[in-house]
């Protein structure tokens, strides 16, 4: 997945980050697979390896510098589900996340990719 977090320049001491989850990427029950740090202009690349048919969700946020999720009030959810369907590498390009202010949230910890059933 590639795209851009469309926002004002990232505030000093912060990163743009993207999260990829199964079906959803927000809330305490979100099953997050990866957290990728975008560059300061908001361009990002995230990659996950999942079973065919998996529904993926993409979120973006501004977070304080660090190696794990921390509380944030500026985030976004991609307005559609990304379906891992087909043979070989599936690419989603030119995705756009428009961050907005909201109630403070903390994205859940990452989990391992589930085994195919």
Strand partners, 75: 61, 100
Class of domain 2-105: mainly beta
How far is the CA of 114 from the CAs of 42, 51, 82, 110, in angstroms? 29, 8, 17, 12
User: What's residue 7's pLDDT?
Assistant: 84
For residue range 49-59, list pLDDT tens digits in order. 998 899 999 99
Report the 10 Å Cβ neighbour count for 112: 7
- What is the CA 55 to chain-centroid distance, rounded? 13
**Among 9, 18, 78, which residue's Cα sits nearest to residue 40?**
9
pLDDT in tens, 68-83: 889 999 999 999 999 9
């Amino acid at each position: 997945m590639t795209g851009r977090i469309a926002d004002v320049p990232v505030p000093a001491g912060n990163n743009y980050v993207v999260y990829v989850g199964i079906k959803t990427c927000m809330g305490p029950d979100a099953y997050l697979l990866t957290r990728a740090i975008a560059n300061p202009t908001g361009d990002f690349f995230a990659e996950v390896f999942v079973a065919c048919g998996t529904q993926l969700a993409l979120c973006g946020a501004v977070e304080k510098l660090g190696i794990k999720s921390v509380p944030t009030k500026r985030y976004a959810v991609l307005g559609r589900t990304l379906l891992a369907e087909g043979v070989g590498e599936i690419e989603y390009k030119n995705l756009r996340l428009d961050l907005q202010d909201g109630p403070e949230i903390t994205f859940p910890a990452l989990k391992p990719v589930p085994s195919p059933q």
